[in-house]
Structure 1
């Protein structure tokens, strides 16, 4: 017996819950999505279920792979026909033994022909047969998603079969590869999965650009080659995103509100790609010093091509591009701060240029620095203190003011100063916003006086 509300799906003969739905219920994992297979006509069953639940029915898939989806409140049911003459035949065709378990609504028993319950108890991901990867190569990636999601280990024969078949992944649709990659990235601890995929070469089949970073050695401030640095940065980023002790409690709450699951996944993806441009721009000067001038621009251009190849969304592509293209900006700002005292206006301009991406870039900067390997280096320690202070000032000072209504608008420029809409409007309003966010202007009257002064000086300030 598994914990499922049988009032939703009464005990009908020939109807089974299957796959991850059963697995998650047995493991006590919350689920509102259920995979149902039926002997007979799945559309007829789906229509009846939809009527009983006052739900909405959608037909999906192509001929031979049709699924009927019933949506009712928080519940989602995907209903299809049993593959083969009986449920056991259906189950042995599935990917991994922990997903090859069924629950009969009629007999209220579990059907487990491949000992998936045993593998579940031993926390193992085991293939149902050695042919599963050739039948559907996306399962090469799915093995790591299932393992990372459940915190299970991929058993040795399955791991060997993945390594043997890594080249098959190229036959999978780009959208499916992207889905699996982001599903892993969305997990709080995905670093180990990516290291495993790098170890057997699967990661480099998907991202050959990363393979070039192996053996690309860096300057004296780095203890590792570009690839190992990248993976250490990835690891450090996950620690930052998941830890409570890196910042004070209020800043931690702010970061977690800002860095939701999807945004964190995008930042981790950008971190994987942040130095892929280095091998292509690497130079050695006459003193033997290694340089990577312009690697952030080159890397962003390369990442754009990866995103296009794997059908990332426009939003995902834009985010990843911005992080990579600007990931050195915090370091440049730190260097500028060592040469002169930074003013409130300097901070405001920095935050305004980076906008909503500011916390993301600053968190990445800490991870990137820790990924260099020398945590005792005083310059690195000073940089991290500097970045943590910026994060604090962004959330405590800048962000609250940036959300306040503007002191004046374009309408004020028209009615109060008799100006005609032009590019000058943007210049004036940007100056007002900058002064406001720097806490130099606090009310409408002060803002109008400032604009009058600006116009008198013809915007030279």
Structure 2
């Protein structure tokens, strides 16, 4: 059972929210604070967005525009608006009828609690507070999913965000109408998927999305992985393997201090990098973990053993195409497809008796920003392959820590010679050869092979970079 705030405390918190963000804004007498705002306040959380239902949407929109907020029209047909400013999103919806009628027309009981702002009357016609205390996401009716099929996945997003369960009857409705999930815009679907993945412990919800058929309809490539049954060295079929990789990856992301030691803060900063809108690198990393073997059904061959030659390349291409269709940014698409393409590289290095500094340098040079996320996905992949308790693959943990430590120690030095100096030294003009030479030079400096400009000139004149194949 969840402990929720009393009505009195909720009203006080709502007043504070209004005082912080609505100063100087005139609200209609019938305006009501609703939805996730009231839900989050009751749970003792700081609301991410503020939801207001009002009979006069245009007047409220203009009030915020006059205060310097940016206006985003979310749905012209349904008269839904978002005001962005002062670090907050304020969503404005029309109040067409009375307060009760508005609330019983909403999606889930826990979102159908309202506070009439002028009178401070709390309305809960569908028992939303009771479901909040139970930790339950319950649809108000089956029709809600027909009105807006995005709610089919939103139920799971809310469950992931709040660590709630979905009511069994609601889950049956979702399974029944799963075929409708692709009717909303791709952008809206993408956002709900990402918000679900963003929750730190979303594995149970991702598993339920798979069981209900929602995930396979959003990502048809994921539906096809059920064709691949358990095979050596994998203890599970491919669907279960991908789900467990996702689960282990969540364990790893919560255990970065232990896994990376002194280098954990740098990794956390990298994983918090905003890729697009408010979507961060760790969301891309988790998505890559879920999809890393997506190319296997397309590449399976049966000889003495089962093989999946080039499944990483094929999977990367499949991921790129699907993410473009879901309107992910080019940076996000490049990140996830890059991790999928390279997820075998850490495995290949980890199998060596020892990893040379040169191999470490090339790994981080080639993968750049996705080098550490790819290492983390590989560790999760190893766990899901062997299905052993988290923490037991000590050798793999040590391998990852040593890779990151070695790279940090080498760094990426500034080239001792500029491109112009190299062109003058070799008597050639601009072209790909200059890039090869600079890369070769930086590698030699990082590995401690040269330290002076004279040594750099001798190295470049040898033209060893032409044989290195390190472009």
Alignment check: 8 A CA contact 1:36 1:80 kept: yes
Q: Which residue of 1 aligns with 2:443?
A: 434
Say if 1:189 and 1:446 are closer, same or farther in 2 by CA, change over 3 A.
Answer: same
Say if 1:448 and 1:145 are closer, same or farther in 2 by CA, change over 3 A.
Answer: same
Structure 2 residue 153 is the aligned partner of structure 1 residue 135: no
Q: Which residue of 2 aligns with 1:81?
A: 94
Q: Which residue of 2 aligns with 1:241?
A: 253
Alignment check: 8 A CA contact 1:47 1:57 kept: no
CA deviations 1:406-425 (Å, max 9, x no partner) are 32211222456654323321
Supply the distance in 2 between the matched residues of 1:281 and 1:450 (Cα, whole angstroms): 43
Q: Which residue of 2 aligns with 1:357?
A: 370
1:151-166 to structure 2, matched below 5 A, reads 151-166=163-178
Structure 2 residue 278 is the aligned partner of structure 1 residue 263: no
Deviation at 1:310, TM superposition (A): 2.0
TM-score, normalised to structure 2, is: 0.87
- Which of these residues, 17, 20, 31, is aligned with residue 15 of structure 1? 31
Supply the distance in 2 between the matched residues of 1:43 and 1:11 (Cα, whole angstroms): 11
Supply the distance in 2 between the matched residues of 1:211 and 1:292 (Cα, whole angstroms): 18
Which contiguous aligned blocks of 4+ residues in structure 1 show a shift greater than 4 angstroms?
9-12, 379-384, 414-419, 457-461
Deviates more, 1:29-38 or 1:175-184: 29-38
Deviation at 1:304, TM superposition (A): 2.3
Supply the distance in 2 between the matched residues of 1:460 and 1:20 (Cα, whole angstroms): 61
Say if 1:458 and 1:147 are closer, same or farther in 2 by CA, change over 3 A.
Answer: closer
TM-score, normalised to structure 1, is: 0.88
- Which of these residues, 147, 163, 186, is aligned with residue 198 of structure 2? 186
- Which of these residues, 261, 268, 276, is aligned with residue 294 of structure 2? 276
Say if 1:354 and 1:45 are closer, same or farther in 2 by CA, change over 3 A.
Answer: closer
1:142-221 to structure 2, matched below 5 A, reads 142-221=154-233
Q: Tell me the SS of whatever aligns to 1:36.
A: strand
Supply the distance in 2 between the matched residues of 1:163 and 1:447 (Cα, whole angstroms): 65
Q: Which residue of 2 aligns with 1:420?
A: 429
CA deviations 1:399-445 (Å, max 9, x no partner) are xx22x433221122245665432332112111101112223233445
Q: Which residue of 2 aligns with 1:303?
A: 319
Deviation at 1:274, TM superposition (A): 1.3
Supply the distance in 2 between the matched residues of 1:123 and 1:243 (Cα, whole angstroms): 27
CA deviations 1:9-50 (Å, max 9, x no partner) are 5775111111111211222212353121212x2212332355
User: What are the ranges of 5 or more consecutive residues in structure 2 without an aligned counterpart?
Assistant: 1-10, 273-278
Q: Which residue of 2 aligns with 1:317?
A: 333
Deviation at 1:155, TM superposition (A): 1.2
Deviation at 1:56, TM superposition (A): 2.7
- Which of these residues, 87, 102, 106, is aligned with residue 94 of structure 1? 106
Supply the distance in 2 between the matched residues of 1:301 and 1:68 (Cα, whole angstroms): 37
Say if 1:178 and 1:439 are closer, same or farther in 2 by CA, change over 3 A.
Answer: same
Q: Tell me the SS of whatever aligns to 2:225.
A: coil
Supply the distance in 1 between the matched residues of 2:291 and 2:177 (Cα, whole angstroms): 25
Deviates more, 1:72-81 or 1:312-321: 72-81
CA deviations 1:433-458 (Å, max 9, x no partner) are 11122232334454334334x25x79
Alignment check: 8 A CA contact 1:57 1:68 kept: no
Say if 1:458 and 1:381 are closer, same or farther in 2 by CA, change over 3 A.
Answer: closer
Structure 2 residue 30 is the aligned partner of structure 1 residue 34: no
Supply the distance in 2 between the matched residues of 1:71 and 1:226 (Cα, whole angstroms): 43
Alignment check: 8 A CA contact 1:299 1:324 kept: yes
Supply the distance in 1 between the matched residues of 2:182 and 2:452 (Cα, whole angstroms): 59
Supply the distance in 1 between the matched residues of 2:143 and 2:343 (Cα, whole angstroms): 43
Say if 1:68 and 1:179 are closer, same or farther in 2 by CA, change over 3 A.
Answer: closer
- Which of these residues, 190, 211, 226, is aligned with residue 238 of structure 2? 226
Deviation at 1:268, TM superposition (A): 1.3
Deviation at 1:125, TM superposition (A): 0.7
- Which of these residues, 370, 373, 383, is aligned with residue 370 of structure 1? 383
CA RMSD in angstroms comes to 2.5
Q: Which residue of 2 aligns with 1:393?
A: 406
User: What are the ranges of 5 or more consecutive residues in structure 1 without an aligned counterpart?
Assistant: none
CA deviations 1:204-258 (Å, max 9, x no partner) are 2222322222252243221111111111111111100112563253122222112
Supply the distance in 1 between the matched residues of 2:215 and 2:84 (Cα, whole angstroms): 36
Alignment check: 8 A CA contact 2:437 2:465 kept: no
Structure 2 residue 316 is the aligned partner of structure 1 residue 326: no
Structure 2 residue 60 is the aligned partner of structure 1 residue 48: no
CA deviations 1:121-141 (Å, max 9, x no partner) are 111111111211011111000
Say if 1:183 and 1:57 are closer, same or farther in 2 by CA, change over 3 A.
Answer: closer
Q: Tell me the SS of whatever aligns to 1:34.
A: strand
Q: Which residue of 2 aligns with 1:406?
A: 415
